[in-house]
Amino acid sequence: MIYDEQLPVLSKSTLTLQVSDFSNGINTKISQNVLPQNYAVNSYNFSYSSGALRDGLGLRELVVPTTYGTTKSFVTPTGVTKILNVWHFRRYNRTLQKFEPFIVIYTSDGSLYFGVLENSETNFYPINDFTLNANPIGINYRIEDTDCLLLCSPDTNDSFTVWDGVNVPYEYQDAPDITSAVLYAGRLFVTTGGDKSQLWFSDDLDPRNWNVNEFEGGYIELTDERGQLNKLIESNNYLYIIREYGISRMSAWGEQTDFTVRNLYLSTGKIYSNSAVLCGSNIIMLCRDGLYNFDGVEMTKICSNLDGYFDGVDNENAVGAFLDGKYYLACRLNFGDEAIGCELNADYVNNALIEFDINNGEINIMRGVDISVMRAFQTSLFSKLVILLNTGTTNKLYELTRDGKIVGTNTKKVWCSPFSDLGYPSNQKALKHFYINTKKDMFLTISTENKKYRFEIKGSEAITDIPLNIRCKKFSFNVETDEVQCDISNPVIQMYVL
């Protein structure tokens, strides 16, 4: 019998998927099926700047240099269970004719302590005969040729307090309940509690005098649609008022009658005021839908590739800081997977730290740590980001590191590729081999539309080849390690498209 019909011929083509460079970082905004494979859809605790996956951010207990070549760690005062705030106070000692840098802490029992930075003393000393009922704002200011730390509490039962670094703090009863404060044009300007519609200012050159009259202190009320007055930032000879849904600007040179307020930006979403930080000449802040850069006139969306992380989370407790050309944001992110680190604690507030380099746009994310306060410290000997925690060990001071550890424990480091059909939606893929360079042990997870496959890979100086033999239409791959000094590069998946 002879068949005239043409029989179908099974054909296949070889396809090689290679990620030669991880430095593109993360993109949570674009649909995974059209996203290039050299972007991560989820990643944390890795650094990508070299193009390989290496140790990301970490934390350790604060260590400060006392001289070049020697360091010390401060001893937590006996009985202190939680440190709620920290400040850098610089006082000029006229006897020694030099600046003395102090570190000042506020604790959960309302007490204040100070430590000296540039000597070998490791103890904190109590600022005696003085307590506060609420977590204050601290500002360095010079009053009558004496450097002072101004402590402004939002509790109406507390007084406006001045500490000169030597004597018992002295209090002034007439100040409002202060929620944010900044020195501008020789006056102390503050936002207040209550309905948060008033901008108060002290007397010229005297932040202790809050008498309301034409020649001393006073206040301005703002009640437009931009909402509450939450934070103040001085920049480029203007005072910027960060409000609940917008930004206003004040110029306040000369007499009170010359003060002017101009409304600038009206937001479509809530501004998380404690995230707003002056970074060079611009202000970076977190809004409900992501990060923005404000140049004094216009607001521009930045870091849009992180937008997916902000979906469905409340960032009312987000806090920002700026140090060495990098904006830091401690916040809550939606990673969409199982809990790790501080997330295992039911009462955690924040779970991540974002580091954004304003010069080159590089982003690093540390996950699994609940940060409450970040303070930039810069002295003649060091530049550090000093950190306090909401959960975990809360009576310690910490600093940011780049060793892939959180207080001695290796972080879980993850990089996830897009879940994609690679542009062949109707074709089966036969995944044959996975090749990778890794000097430390790691895990590989291949996820398909039907199943997940997990492989343990041992670190090696040579290229590692993992046979796969997996069939699917769509897939993604994840690399994961909890090792430090990791160096993962050039993953390649060899497959047939059927």
Each of the 498 residues of the chain gets a pLDDT tens digit; together they read 444 444 444 457 899 999 999 999 999 999 999 999 999 999 999 999 999 999 999 999 999 999 888 999 999 999 999 999 999 999 998 888 889 999 999 999 999 999 999 899 999 999 988 899 999 999 999 988 899 999 998 877 777 899 999 999 988 888 888 999 999 999 999 999 888 999 999 998 888 888 999 888 999 999 999 999 999 999 999 999 999 999 999 998 778 888 999 999 998 889 999 999 999 999 999 999 999 999 999 999 999 999 999 999 999 999 999 999 999 999 999 999 999 999 999 999 999 999 999 999 999 999 999 999 999 999 989 999 999 999 999 999 999 999 999 999 999 999 999 999 999 999 999 999 999 999 999 999 999 999 999 999 999 999 999 999 999 999 999 999 999 999 999 999 999 999
Q: What is the pLDDT of residue 253?
A: 79
Q: 131: which strand partners? A: none
Residue 423's contacts (CB-CB under 8 Å, 6 or more residues apart) are none
What is the greatest pairwise CA distance in the chain? 115
Residue 82: name the closest of 108, 113, 53, 56 by CA.
Answer: 108
Give one DSSP letter per residue of 233-272, joined into a string. EEETTEEEEEESSEEEEEE--SSGGG-EEEEEEE-SS-EE
Q: What is the pLDDT of residue 300?
A: 95
Q: What is the pLDDT of residue 420?
A: 95
H-helix or E-strand spanning residue 367 = strand 363-367
Provide the 8-state DSSP code for 32: G
Residue burial 44-61, b: 16+ Cβ < 10 Å; e: rest: bbbbbeeebbbbbbbbbe
427: left (phi over 0), alpha (psi -120 to 50) or beta: beta
Instruction: State pTM to two decimals.
Output: 0.95
Q: What is the pLDDT of residue 9?
A: 42
- Asked if residues 341 and 391 have their Cβ atoms less than 8 Å apart, the reply is no
Half-sphere exposure at residue 445, Cβ-oriented, CA atoms within 13 angstroms: 13
Q: What is the pLDDT of residue 257?
A: 80
